[in-house]
Amino acid sequence: PKEIFLKNYTKPDYYFETVDLSFSLGEEKTIVSSKIKVSPRVKGSSAALVLDGHDLKLLSVKVEGKLLKEGDYQLDSRHLTLPSLPAEESFVLEIDTEIYPHKNTSLEGLYKSSGNFCTQCEAEGFRKITFYQDRPDIMAKYTCRVEGDKTLYPVLLSNGNLISQGDIEGGRHYALWEDPFKKPCYLFALVAGQLVSRDDTFTTRSGRQVSLKIWTPAEDLPKTAHAMYSLKAAMKWDEDVFGLEYDLDLFNIVAVPDFNMGAMENKSLNIFNSKLVLASPETATDADYAAILGVIGHEYFHNWTGNRVTCRDWFQLSLKEGLTVFRDQEFSSDMGSRTVKRIADVSKLRIYQFPQDAGPMAHPVRPHSYIKMDNFYTVTVYEKGAEVVRMYKTLLGTQGFRKGIDLYFERHDEQAVTCEDFFAAMRDANNADFANFLQWYSQAGTPVVKVVSSYNADARTFSLKFSQEIPPTPGQPTKEPTFIPVVVGLLDSSGKDITLSSVHHDGTVQTISGSSTILRVTKKEEEFVFSDIPERPVPSLFRGFSAPVRVETDLSNDDLFFLLAHDSDEFNRWEAGQVLARKLMLNLVSDFQQNKPLALNPKFVQGLGSVLSDSSLDKEFIAKAITLPGEGEIMDMMAVADPDAVHAVRKFVRKQLASELKEELLKIVENNRSTEAYVFDHSNMARRALKNTALAYLASLEDPAYMELALNEYKMATNLTDQFAALAALSQNPGKTRDDILADFYNKWQDDYLVVNKWFLLQSTSDIPGNVENVKKLLDHPAFDLRNPNKVYSLIGGFCGSPVNFHAKDGSGYKFLGDIVVQLDKLNPQVASRMVSAFSRWKRYDETRQGLAKAQLEMIMSANGLSENVFEIASKSLA
Q: Which residues bind ligand DPP (CB under 6 A)?
A: 122, 261, 263-265, 298-299, 302, 321
In the complex, the smallest distance separating the C-beta of residue 376 from ligand DPP, rounded to whole angstroms, is 11
Closest residue to bound ligand DPP by CB: 264
Binding mask 519-558 for Zn ion (x = CB under 5 A): ----------------------------------------
Beta strands 209-216 and 250-256 are parallel
Secondary structure (3-state) at 137: coil
> Smallest gap, in angstroms, from Cβ of residue 306 to Zn ion?
7
**Based on CB atoms, which residue is closest to ligand DPP, 377 or 466?**
377
57: closest CA among 17, 96, 86? 96
Q: How far is the CB of 239 from Zn ion (least distance, A)?
A: 20
Cα distance between residue 29 and residue 26, in whole Å:
5
Residue 296 one-letter amino acid: I
Which of ligand DPP, Zn ion, none does residue 340 bind to, with CB < 5 to 8 Å depending on kind?
Answer: none
Q: Closest separation between CB of residue 123 and Zn ion, Å?
A: 12
Nearer to ligand DPP, 186 or 724 (CB): 186
Q: Strand 550-553 and strand 448-456: pairing?
A: parallel
CA atoms of 842 and 40, how far apart (whole Å): 49
| Partner whose binding site includes residue 855, from Zn ion, ligand DPP, none (CB under 5 to 8 Å by kind) | none
Closer of 298 and 573 to ligand DPP (Cβ): 298
| Residue 841 binds which entry of ligand DPP, Zn ion, none, CB below 5-8 Å type-dependent | none
How far apart are alpha carbons 485 and 226 in whole angstroms?
Answer: 38
- From the list ligand DPP, Zn ion, none, which binds 261 (C-beta under 5 to 8 Å, kind-based)? ligand DPP
- Binders of Zn ion in range 116-175 (CB under 5 A): none
| DSSP character string of 367-419 | -SEES-GGGG-SHIIIIIHHHHHHHHHHHHHHHHHHHHHHHHHHHHTT-EE-H
Task: Name which of residues 313 to 352 contact Zn ion (CB under 5 A).
Answer: 321, 324
Find all residues with CB under 8 Å of 295, minimum gap 6, and list them: 262, 263, 272, 276, 328
Count other Cβ atoms within 10 Å, centred on residue 42. Answer: 11
Closest CB to Zn ion among 383 and 569? 383
Q: Report the residue number, 224 or 324, with the smaller CB distance to Zn ion.
A: 324
Tell me the C-alpha to C-alpha distance, in Å, between residue 878 and each of 354, 484, 836, 851, 854: 20, 33, 12, 11, 7
Contacts of 840 (CB under 8 A, 6+ apart): 359, 360, 361, 873, 876, 877
Neighbour order of strands in the sheet with 14-24: 66-67, 57-63, 91-99, 30-40, 14-24, 140-149, 172-183, 161-168
Torsion angle of the four alpha carbons 800, 801, 807, 813, in this order, in degrees rounded to the nearest 10: -20
Q: How many CB atoms lie within 10 A of CB 401?
A: 21
The entry of ligand DPP, Zn ion, none near residue 183 (CB within 5 to 8 angstroms by kind) is: none
User: Measured from the CB atom, is 367 or 577 closer to Zn ion?
Assistant: 367
What residues have CB less than 8 Å from 125, skipping those under 6 apart?
A: 108, 109, 119, 186
Q: How far is the CB of 391 from Zn ion (least distance, A)?
A: 19
β-partners of residue 23 are 32, 146
Of 309 and 612, nearer to ligand DPP (C-beta) is 309
Contact 845, 641 (CB under 8 A): yes
In degrees rounded to 5, what are phi and psi of residue 67? -70, 130
Instruction: Please give the helix or strand (H or E) that residue 832 lies within, else none.
Output: helix 829-836
Q: Choose among Zn ion, ligand DPP, none what residue 198 binds, the Cβ cut-off being 5 to 8 Å by kind.
A: none
Q: How far is the CB of 326 from Zn ion (least distance, A)?
A: 11
Q: Which is nearer to ligand DPP, 262 or 474 (CB)?
A: 262
Nearer to ligand DPP, 317 or 645 (CB): 317
727: three-class secondary structure by DSSP? helix
Picked from Zn ion, ligand DPP, none, the partner binding residue 122 (CB below 5 to 8 A depending on kind) is ligand DPP
- Shortest distance, CB of residue 136 to ligand DPP, whole angstroms? 11
DSSP strand E in 544-619: where?
550-553
Coil, strand, or helix at residue 606? helix
Provide, rounded to whole angstroms, the least separation between the CB of residue 120 and ligand DPP: 9
263 contact, one of Zn ion, ligand DPP, none, CB 5-8 Å limit per kind: ligand DPP
- Least separation in angstroms between residue 295's CB and ligand DPP is 8
* Subset of 278-317 contacting Zn ion (CB under 5 A): none
264 binds, among ligand DPP, Zn ion, none (CB under 5 to 8 A by kind): ligand DPP
How large is the greatest C-alpha to C-alpha distance in the chain, in angstroms? 94
Of residues 221 and 261, the one with the C-beta less far from ligand DPP: 261
Q: Could you tell me if 388 and 441 are in contact, meaning their C-beta atoms sit under 8 angstroms apart?
A: yes
Q: Which of Zn ion, ligand DPP, none sits in contact with 328, Cβ below 5 to 8 A by type?
A: none
Catalytic residues: 299
Closest approach of Cβ 306 to ligand DPP, in Å?
A: 7
CA angle 714, 717, 718 (to 5 degrees): 155
How many Cα atoms are found within 13 Å in the side-chain-facing hemisphere of 518? Answer: 16
Dihedrals phi, psi of 842, to nearest 5 degrees: -60, -25
**What is the footprint of Zn ion within residues 20-79 (CB under 5 A)?**
none
Q: Residue 298 Cβ, how far from Zn ion at the closest point, in Å?
A: 5
CB of 264 to ligand DPP, least distance (A): 4
Residue 497 site contact among ligand DPP, Zn ion, none (CB < 5 to 8 Å, cut-off depends on kind): none
In the complex with ligand DPP, the residue whose CB is nearer, 186 or 842, is: 186
- Residue whose C-alpha is closest to residue 623's, from 544, 709, 713, 686: 686
Q: How far is the CB of 192 from ligand DPP (least distance, A)?
A: 20
**Residue among 182 and 302 whose Cβ is closer to Zn ion:** 302
Rounded to 10 deg, the angle between the 736-749 and 704-716 helix axes is: 10
3-class DSSP assignment, residue 260: coil
- Catalogue the E-assigned strands of 131-249: 140-149, 155-158, 161-168, 172-183, 190-193, 196-203, 209-216
324 vs 867, beta carbon nearer Zn ion: 324
Q: Is 702 helix (H, G, I), strand (E, B) or coil?
A: coil
Taking each helix axis from N to C end, the angle separating 419-430 and 385-412, rounded to the nearest 10 degrees, works out to: 80
- Do the Cβ atoms of 191 and 116 come closer than 8 Å? yes
Residues that bind Zn ion (CB under 5 A): 321, 324
